[in-house]
Chain A
């Protein structure tokens, strides 16, 4: 057995065996450490999705109060009230997420701060129901049909079993369809949408799941302590959870566990030290604040990277499934797939595009060229649905331009001018994202590892595509470690995996070496022969002239020429646009 797996097993055994071996006092602390770890794991997931929450403790509070109050007042088994309160918290989180997750940049953490404080204040203010600041005692223990879990050691065991299950589930999720999509949320929103990921909904799902973990933690907390009050769910606790997530590191769910254990032990060590010195004062808060700052300055990835080296590598998932079904493209080359009429767009006072008419028929191989600043990328963005025009119409496959994340389903896939690969994922995983719209395993199936068959098919198809573009050898490497040229080819492979009818390529040859360009042309020609429509934006004239059948030339937002490459090359307007001089006369 590989050494890392042994280490992981040993660690798990220690964590699960600890409740039986520790002296009674430490068992309690260990239980609470596990409970905080659970909430911290939720935060780690959020951080992985590029979000942050300064209100995680408030969700713990919802879970705690929900279960405690109902069990206490109505005598219902706390097992059921716990489930109820988690569900209720999930609903609240879905609502809050729906409202706040559209906030960008610094607005989001501020919003989490706001509802974190509002909820925590609410626990105190609603005195009649929640017992207010003084809290409520006589909270029933965790129980089901008469059996009550009052033994501390068993309870601690339960908590840590749940923690380990959460860690395993999230590790599984990382290597699944949804997990791949989650990695794109932080900085590749547009790219993810162009491959069918509804990033808004996914963000909400991640947020709700994180809140569910917090609510579960809160429920476990309250049925262990058997006393509920607002102070454990305050802003300070949210801050501490954040510190745990940061110290442990956002890369892996284990980070939550490590962060929680580190912080809890540090807390007790500090208090012991203080008690012995007879000193008073909030040394612990100071130390934690400093730890947070130092960690972020020096090790923003937390302890995770060091841990990852000790943990077993996630077993490579099966890639031996049957390839995914592809659509057969009709041979009819007269289908009008894309039509642009009178497209115009302005930004502030700048008219970037005006009066642009364009058509793409099936099987065409069209090049879009023009000097820098002509508006090619802008036009591309409009065509690929990521930008809305100010005037004119776009007709795609005979209909209106659908929502940005539904376009790939219609049959249009693209690459990007600035490579949009997730650098930490493997090449294979990056390519696999292309098949997102062609598959359907969701959050739960990813967590519970029920997506094996489908995932095997996706990875098989991804390997096939990589073989086709000549990058099979690099499949397991981190995408960020590849040279730019190869990264561009990975982007093309990913677009191919989306089974497109139209392929949009934004400067695919930029940064490619000669051999790579040859390979690129070969692939494109092959695709075109299979009736895939290709629209290419490029600066490399030789490449463009050599493979396209029609050129469209853009200059200062308008189309100045269109036709066969030979004709366009000789067009005086085109020449002067590129070489400057007599510009004023030309337009």
Chain B
């Protein structure tokens, strides 16, 4: 359903004509899950990369032209590894953006490390960038489950809720949430008294909900994406659970509300700024950046409201370009691909206070996540809308 407007095409062509002759080329290779179970995340990610390619073409201030090469890994680790290899050896990219899910991102660690190519991952898992000493070449843009769960557990502690139950997807997304909850709960002194699993394609969530309700938790944390996250929430209400229900950022999209409707009123979600940017004070630097991105994306791809996933690849692309510009300014040459890769990597660690869609990034040699509490918010479903919770 792509419709490239004539204007954009003309702009692209003139820009390319203007800049192509003189400037060297920065090649950004990316591998996302355009098909397979993670395609709901991967497709928007690809969209954002396409959008960035179009926008960049008209930016003449850059010392280079940017070429994006994107492959599909079908959510499969083997394909991810092969695709990244192709990008590195055949397409000679300067930087890689990969991959959509944690297992695929983990699978390519060896490959990029051995080839000494910087990689910006789009996965949620903490393990992708930790321990940092083993992840010299790997960075990531999405927030971690850790950060988002932390903000939610903090709220639980504030309310005096000591016992939490976990309901999560049985795939790697759900597992990420489980691992995060376990470590955060332990650190904050909250006890996990029940843990149940379900699948995206299940038709009945009532037994798990019943088990959880019977354990009488003070709070319930659901780590899933719609439709299952909304349906589990509904099931919990139906078996008589009345306490607070927290959700991961996976539920932070319109499908959650349109499926759950009145039943998900009051749900509390840990989320990136993308969901609630409109309610942020104008003084918050994130607001302007996200507003601009949202307008561009929503218009270009004809969606009513942008989700969190495209922002992640948008940020990855922008950060890569920023680091590349800095590297060129410091004297690195794009033609010397191997050396440039190392230089780009160094400049990535030098990214400071970069206001992006997913938050404010501060990379360093010990921090390849780059985000902190300033980039995490709690959102509440109020009157069928996502609203900032307790005005942070």
Binding site for B on A (CB under 8 A): 23-25, 28-29, 32, 124-125, 127, 132-135, 137, 221, 225-227, 229, 231-232, 271, 274-275, 278, 280-282, 284-285
> Contacts A28-B81, A132-B175; is A137 near B106 (CB within 8 Å)?
yes
In this complex, which of B76, B78, B102, B125 has the most chain A Cβ atoms within 10 angstroms of its Cβ? Answer: B78
**Does B176 touch A at the CB level, under 8 Å?**
yes
Whether A227 pairs with B43 at a CB distance below 8 angstroms is no
**B81 near A225: Cβ-Cβ < 8 Å:** yes
Kindly list chain B residues whose C-beta atoms are within 8 Å of the C-beta of A135.
Answer: 77, 103, 106-107, 172
Bound: A274/B69 CA distance, A: 12
The residues of B that contact A29 with a CB separation of less than 8 Å are 82
Cβ B77 vs Cβ A232 within 8 A: yes
Chain A residue at minimal CB-CB distance from B35: A282
A134 and B175 within 8 A (CB): yes
Closest 9 CB pairs of A and B: A134-B172, A133-B172, A227-B107, A133-B171, A282-B35, A280-B34, A135-B103, A229-B103, A25-B85
Contact pattern, B 71-84, Cβ under 8 Å of A = 1, otherwise 0: 11011111101100
Question: Which residue of B is nearest A221, CB measured?
Answer: B78
Contacts of B335 in A (CB 8 A): none
The answer to whether A225 and B70 have CB atoms under 8 Å apart is no
Chain B residues whose C-beta falls within 8 Å of the C-beta of A225 in the assembled complex: 77-78, 81, 107
Residue from the set A227, A274, A285 with the largest chain B CB neighbour count within 10 Å = A227
Complex: how many Å from CA A25 to CA B76?
17
- Distance in angstroms between the alpha carbons of A124 and B37 in the assembled complex: 15
A–B pairs, 30, beta carbons within 8 Å: A24-B89, A25-B85, A25-B89, A28-B81, A28-B82, A29-B82, A32-B78, A125-B170, A125-B197, A127-B175, A132-B170, A132-B175, A133-B170, A134-B125, A134-B176, A135-B107, A137-B107, A225-B107, A226-B110, A227-B103, A229-B172, A232-B77, A232-B78, A271-B72, A275-B69, A275-B71, A280-B39, A280-B46, A282-B36, A284-B74
Q: In the complex where A134-B176, A280-B34, A281-B35 touch, is A227 in contact with B77 (Cβ < 8 A)?
A: yes
Give complex CA distance A137, B123 in Å.
Answer: 16
Instruction: From A24, A25, A28, name the one whose CB has the most chain B CB atoms within 10 angstroms.
Output: A25
Q: Which residue from B72, B74, B89 sits with its C-beta under 8 Å from A23? A: B89
**Bound: A124/B125 CA distance, A:** 17
Q: Which residues of B contact A285 (CB under 8 A)?
A: 35
56-78 of chain B: CB within 8 A of chain A: 69-72, 74-78
B174 close to A (CB within 8 Å): yes
B71 to chain A, nearest CB (A): 6
Assess the B85–A231 pair: CB atoms within 8 A. no
Contact residues in B for A271 (Cβ distance below 8 Å): 71-72, 79
Q: Which residue of B lies closest to A275 (CB)?
A: B71
Contact with A along B161-178 (1 / 0, CB 8 A): 000000000111011100
Chain B residues closer than 8 Å to A231, beta-carbon distance:
75-77, 103
Q: Name the A residues within 8 Å of B197 (CB-CB).
A: 125
B202 within 8 A of A: no
What 5 new A-B contacts, CB under 8 Å, besides A134-B125, A225-B107, A278-B2? A29-B82, A133-B103, A135-B172, A227-B103, A227-B110
| Residues on the B chain within 8 Å of A282, using CB | 35-36, 74
Given A133-B172, A275-B71, A280 contacting B35 (CB threshold 8 A): yes
**Closest Cβ–Cβ distance, residue A123 to chain B (whole Å):** 11
A278 to B34, CA, bound (A): 10
B342 within 8 A of A: no
B39 to A, closest residue via Cβ = A280
Minimal beta-carbon separation of B113 from chain A (angstroms): 11
Q: In the bound complex, how far is the Cα of B34 from the Cα of A25, in angstroms?
A: 21
B35 touches A137 (CB 8 A): no
Nearest CB in chain A: distance from B12 CB, A: 14
B residues in contact (CB < 8 Å) with A = 2, 34-36, 39, 43, 46, 50, 69-72, 74-79, 81-82, 85-86, 89-90, 102-103, 106-107, 109-110, 125, 127, 170-172, 174-176, 197
**Among A127, A227, A274, which residue has its beta carbon within 8 angstroms of that of B106?**
A227
Q: Which of B43, B70, B79, B82 has the most CB of A within 10 A?
A: B82
CB closest chain-A residue, reference B106: A137
Interface of B is mostly: helix
**B87 and chain A: residue at smallest CB distance:** A25
**Residues of chain A within 8 A of B107, CB atoms compared:** 135, 137, 225, 227, 229
Partner of B102, one of A127, A134, A221: A134
Judging by beta carbons under 8 Å apart, are A278 and B175 in contact? no
Determine the residue in chain A with the shortest Cβ distance to B85: A25
Chain A residues with Cβ below 8 Å from B172 are 132-135, 229
Tell me, rounded to whole Å, the shortest Cβ–Cβ distance linking B303 to chain A.
15
Nearest-Cβ distance from residue B192 to partner chain A, whole angstroms: 14
Of the candidates B69, B70, B72, B103, which one forms a contact with A134 in the assembled complex, judged by CB atoms under 8 Å apart? B103
For A132, give the chain B residue with the smallest CB separation.
Answer: B175
Please indicate the chain A residues that have their CB under 8 angstroms from the CB of B78 in the complex: 32, 221, 225, 232
Bound Cα distance A391, B81 (Å): 67
Provide the residues of chain A in CB contact with B109, threshold 8 Å: 137
Instruction: Tell me which residues across on chain B come within 8 A of A24, comparing CB atoms.
Output: 85, 89
B211 to chain A, nearest CB (A): 16
A32 contact set on B, CB distance < 8 A:
78, 82
Write the chain B residue with the least CB distance to A226. Answer: B110
| Residues of chain B contacted by A284 (CB below 8 angstroms) | 35, 74
A52 to B234, CA, bound (A): 42
Shortest CB distance A287–B (Å): 12
Q: How far is the CA of A50 from the CA of B386 in the complex (A)?
A: 59
Task: Give the docked Cα–Cα distance between A226 and B221 (Å).
Answer: 33
Q: How far is the CA of A134 from the CA of B125 in the complex (A)?
A: 9
Distance, CA A221 to CA B81, complexed state (A): 13
| Minimum CB–CB distance for B369 against chain A, Å | 18
Provide the bound-state CA to CA distance between A284 and B75, in Å. 14
Assembly CA distance A284 to B72 (angstroms): 11
The CA-CA distance from A183 to B171 in the complex, in Å, is 43
CA distance A232 to B82 in the complex (A): 14
CB-nearest residue of chain A relative to B79? A271
| Distance between Cα atoms of A137 and B81 in the complex (Å) | 13
**Bound state CA distance, A278 and B79, in angstroms?**
18
Q: How far is the CA of A232 from the CA of B103 in the complex (A)?
A: 11
In the complex, which residues of chain A have a beta carbon less than 8 angstroms from the beta carbon of B72? 271, 274-275, 280
Select the residue from A127, A132, A231, A282 with max chain B CB neighbours within 10 A.
A231
Shortest B163–chain A CB gap in Å is: 22
Do residues A232 and B76 form an inter-chain contact, with CB atoms below 8 A?
yes
Residue of A nearest to B178 (CB): A127
Residues in chain B near residue A132, CB distance under 8 A = 170, 172, 175
Residue among B39, B106, B109, B197 with most chain A CB within 10 A: B106
> What CA separation (Å) do A472 and B74 show in the bound complex?
58
Q: Of residues B70, B103, B110, B175, which shows the largest number of chain A Cβ atoms within 10 Å of its Cβ? A: B103
CA distance A231 to B81 in the complex (A): 14
Find chain B residues with CB under 8 A from A133 CB.
Answer: 103, 170-172, 174-175
Interface-centre pick from A23, A133, A135, A221 (highest chain B CB count, 10 A):
A133
Give A137's nearest chain B residue, CB to CB.
B106
How many angstroms between the C-alpha atoms of A169 and B171 in the bound complex?
40
A25 in contact with B90 (CB, 8 Å):
yes
CB-CB < 8 A to B176: which residues of A? 134
- Beta-carbon contact of B85 and A28 below 8 Å: yes
Shortest B135–chain A CB gap in Å is 12
- Cα distance A521–B170 when bound, in Å? 73
In the complex, the chain A residue whose C-beta lies closest to that of B2 is A278
Least distance between B147 CB and chain A CB atoms (Å): 18
A229 to B, closest residue via Cβ: B103
Complexed CA–CA distance, A125 and B178 (Å): 13
A227 to B99, CA, bound (A): 15
The answer for the CA separation of A226 and B111 in the assembled complex, in Å, is: 11
Chain A: minimal CB distance from B96 (Å): 14
Q: Which residues of B contact A134 (CB under 8 A)?
A: 102-103, 106, 125, 127, 172, 175-176
Complex: chain B residue closest to A232, CB-CB: B78
Which residues of chain B are within 8 angstroms of A23 by Cβ–Cβ distance?
A: 89-90
Residues in B whose Cβ lies below 8 Å from that of A232? 76-78
Closest CB-CB distance, A24 to chain B, in whole Å? Answer: 5
